[in-house]
Amino acid sequence: MKRILIGLLAFAGVVVVAFGAFAWRPAIGKIAPPAPTSFAPDLVARGEVLAGAGYCSTCHTAKGGQPFAGGYPMKTSFGAIYSTNITPDPKTGIGSWSEAAFSRALREGVARNGAHLFPALPYDHFTKLSDADVSALYAYMMTRPAVVAEKKRNGIPFPLNIRALQAGWKLLFFKPGRFEPDKTKSPEWNRGAYLAEGISHCGACHTPRNGLGAEKRDKAFAGAAIDHWIAPPLTAANPSPAPWDQAELVAYLRTGVSRYHGVAAGPMAPVVHDGLVKLPDSDIQALAVYFNDRDGGAGRASALAPALQKADAADRLNVGPQSDPSARLYTAACASCHYNGPGQPNPLRPDLALNSAVNLDDPTNLIQVVLHGVGAKEGAPGVVMPAFNRFSDADVARLAAYLRATRTDKPAWPDLEKKVAAIRAEGK
Ligand code: HEC
Ligand code: HEC
Ligand code: HEC
């Protein structure tokens, strides 16, 4: 008995030591912060584009804080993780990091001191970055103004806060390696894939995750819940009745508005207006080529005309006097702005029959938009949809149920009133 116990303990010891050795990463020596003038201006300029495409400032800037100085909370189901200061301050930022240390952080999720980083930093996507792009990003970050800002303590509970355990997560879910082009596809498609899967990590929001927070690789872009919104599927499962095509994707990603599909609101707004805005038109085209292929919209092009006809018919329900109380509410509150002439959807007043918010399996996005409106910085820049936060939960639920019933053939959403209350409680 005693011998078995000793054997087991020894085995456990070996496992712990072996895991420790496996998880261990060396620190990379500190350097004196490189002089900003040591970087070529065109390298810095390329880095700026990439930093936009990777939304570095969206995650690394606290509300009202200095750009890139960190402190922005990322709420995960395990607790809050705070982004760090990535300005070149040598003490509190990354000023003493060599390019090798920076590259290892972005592509392997390991900090300069050897500690494993949480995948809140999307290193599982940045691992695809080319060496040249990492150099450009490094040049851009190292030429930003240095800001003194200490890191905030994470809210991750013990034992999940043990960084060495992240080595286990990586073993299970992380596939390191540069982007590999698909030779059967065009260079433009591959450029789109490189951006989407790498620096712009579209899947970080649009791909569902497993219980341990890793993206399900076999469900790429299948749609997912994120920050109390739904990032719709970017596959053939996209529920918009008007199929996405090249032009619609370009318009949406370039301007935040598209003719048939509405606007980029919620977490998609900064993607378009703070991030992709930095990319040249050719890159937006490339993203559209890639997603147009993935969602097979071209194969469903014939669905457009009937979808437009149905949308027109639905719009006409709200012209003239109404007897049904739900129709009356919709006509009074929404129809004045959301009515479009036959066959002429106006991109600045999204047609609700065509909008994914009304067609998704989950009413979250519709409720978000009604309760909180669409701000001037979201959707079409400078254009606002008012918030209907004074409406009762019952009235918002009634509007959602009415739109679902009159604008789609899809099953009614269950528990709408509860859902409205929960989203209202979350705040904006
Ligand atoms: C989705 C949010 C998000 C995005 C986008 C993001 N980061 Fe981060 N990043 C984080 C978080 C959170 C951490 C801290 C992780 C931790 O504590 O384990 C971090 C850590 C880092 C670190 C390690 C710093 C340190 O002190 O350990 C570097 C370097 C970094 N990010 C650079 C970048 C760059 C460059 C970009 C843009 C290309 C970027 N990040 C985009 C969230 C993000
Ligand atoms: C931070 C999370 C996040 C990231 C990153 C993100 N998206 Fe989104 N996306 C969303 C959300 C949330 C919506 C729903 C917005 C709405 O309904 O107004 C959305 C909507 C969309 C839509 C409209 C879908 C529809 O049917 O209405 C497209 C197209 C899209 N995203 C493409 C992309 C592409 C391409 C990328 C990468 C370049 C990307 N997204 C990155 C969260 C994200
Ligand atoms: C004063 C005009 C106005 C009224 C009233 C109005 N809307 Fe809007 N709505 C807009 C505009 C404008 C946009 C596009 C906003 C943008 O581009 O920033 C919009 C966008 C939307 C979207 C699309 C969001 C997306 O992600 O594509 C939905 C859904 C929506 N409205 C639903 C409603 C409902 C339901 C009502 C009634 C409760 C309503 N609206 C009332 C003007 C209005």
What confidence tens digit (pLDDT) does each residue in 106-165 have?
A: 999 999 999 999 999 999 999 999 999 999 999 999 999 999 999 999 999 999 999 999
Q: Counting every residue, how long is the chain?
A: 428
Domain range annotation of the chain: 23-173, 224-426
Q: Just give the CATH number of 224-426.
A: 1.10.760.10
Phi–psi pair at 130, nearest 5 degrees? -75, 160
| Distance separating alpha carbons of residues 285 and 251, to the nearest angstrom | 10
pLDDT of 182 above 80: yes
CA-closest candidate to residue 245, choices 194, 190, 294: 294
pLDDT of 80 above 70: yes
| Distance separating alpha carbons of residues 417 and 346, to the nearest angstrom | 30
424 CB near ligand 2 (under 6 Å): no
Tokens for 250? 């370009």
The arithmetic mean of pLDDT across residues 386-409, rounded, is: 97
CA of 230 to the centre of ligand 2 (A): 9
Bridge partners for 342 per DSSP = none
- 275 and 52 in contact (C-beta within 8 Å)? yes
Distant-in-sequence, close-in-space partners of 120: CB < 8 Å, separation ≥ 6? 74, 76, 81, 83
Atom of ligand 3 at shortest range from CA of 256 = 17
| Distance separating alpha carbons of residues 67 and 44, to the nearest angstrom | 16
CA of 231 to the centre of ligand 2 (A): 5
Residue 82: Cβ-neighbour burial (10 angstroms; 0-12, 13-18, 19+): middle
CA of 263 to the centre of ligand 3 (A): 9
Average pLDDT, the chain: 95
CA of 264 to the centre of ligand 1 (A): 24
pLDDT of 343 above 70: no
pLDDT at 232: 98
193 CB near ligand 2 (under 6 Å): no
pLDDT at 5: 84
- Range in 25-34, 69-78, 368-377 with the lowest mean pLDDT: 69-78
Q: The whole model's pTM is what? A: 0.96
| Distance separating alpha carbons of residues 211 and 378, to the nearest angstrom | 31
Atom of ligand 1 at shortest range from CA of 53 = 38
